[in-house]
Amino acid sequence: MKNVRIAAWLSLLLIPILLLSCAKKEKPEPAKPAAEVKGPYSDWKTYSYRNVRIVYPADHPRAEDLHAMALSYVASIRHDCEFLRIPVPSDTLVVLFHTGPGQGKQLSEHRYPHASNDTLYFWLPGFYGVTLMQWLIPKWQKDTSAFRFLRHGLIALLDNSGQNYHVMTNTYRHNGKFISLDSLARDTTVNSDNERMQSAEAASFVDFLVYKYGTHGLTGMWQSKTSFDSTVTGLFNISVDSLQTDWLSLVSRQAKSDSL
């Protein structure tokens, strides 16, 4: 039997190692005024690398880390586009890098980092992949899915945190907190910004779905206009319960593998 290939999270663990190696070989580019960014960001500086522009205040405490940050975005964009089977966008990605939650909430008028068109409003603590996926998903699918958990599962799965969501899901199974697949698909409270249980399970399921059925399986479920039961039966010719059994079988194997 072939070794199980977990589609997303494992390869993301390698990105920081590769970036550190690359960062030592390339010299940072000088900061430039952010001429094209208006409003409260007009006097911020810009660090550019390939198609990534990081806009930041001159006194940002992490200003020395901008090159490594840009490398991380470039690598993550390539990785995520490969996962979604879409071309790497040619658009310039603008990252407004706030000094922290206080400045972020004040200037962006949002409680959490987020994406708007081709601009990411980002601050620490946080994972680069969250807003990056918010930016990429509309480039993959123009319409939102009737199944909310798929979007937040994708965001969590590719958040670049290195967390093993299969292990987390397995833990929920054994402590009596597991949410069934049918209930998860109907759950309207899934929100990867402010909760972890639903989105962790959703991330595990999305990874399983792409592993077992490919990106076209995820795409078919995303685009479906019928009920979840009908969608599963129509796409995979099995019941929701059988699909959940297959998913949890993978979850169990991954949890066992992680503990070795």
pTM, entire model: 0.87
Rg of the chain (C-alpha set): 19
C-alpha 232/C-alpha 193 separation (Å) is 27
Q: How sure is the predictor about 243, in pLDDT bands with cuts at 50, 70 and 90?
A: very high
pLDDT at 22 over 80: no
From the list 28, 22, 60, 27, the residue with the least C-alpha distance to 41 is 60
Token pair, residue 105, equals 């909430």
Average pLDDT over residues 217-232: 98
What is the residue extent of each domain of the chain? 9-140, 148-259
pLDDT at 87 over 90: yes
Query: How many other C-beta atoms are found inside a 10 Å radius of the C-beta of residue 215?
Result: 17
Average pLDDT over residues 194-219: 97
101 class by beta-carbon count within 10 Å (0-12 exposed, 13-18 middle, 19+ buried) = middle
pLDDT at 251 over 80: yes
- Is the torsion defined by CA of 213, 218, 220, 224 positive or negative? positive
Distance of CA 5 to the CA centre of its chain: 18
Distances (CA, A) of 260 to 123, 144, 204: 36, 39, 20
> Given this model, what pLDDT does residue 62 score?
96
> Given this model, what pLDDT does residue 8 score?
55
* Residues whose CB falls within 8 Å of the CB of residue 188, separated by 6 or more in sequence, listed in order: 148
Distances (CA, A) of 253 to 4, 203, 259: 9, 16, 10
- Is the torsion defined by CA of 150, 155, 159, 161 positive or negative? negative
Question: What are the helix and strand counts (H, E) for the chain?
Answer: 10, 6
Name the least confident of 28-37, 112-121, 191-200. Answer: 28-37
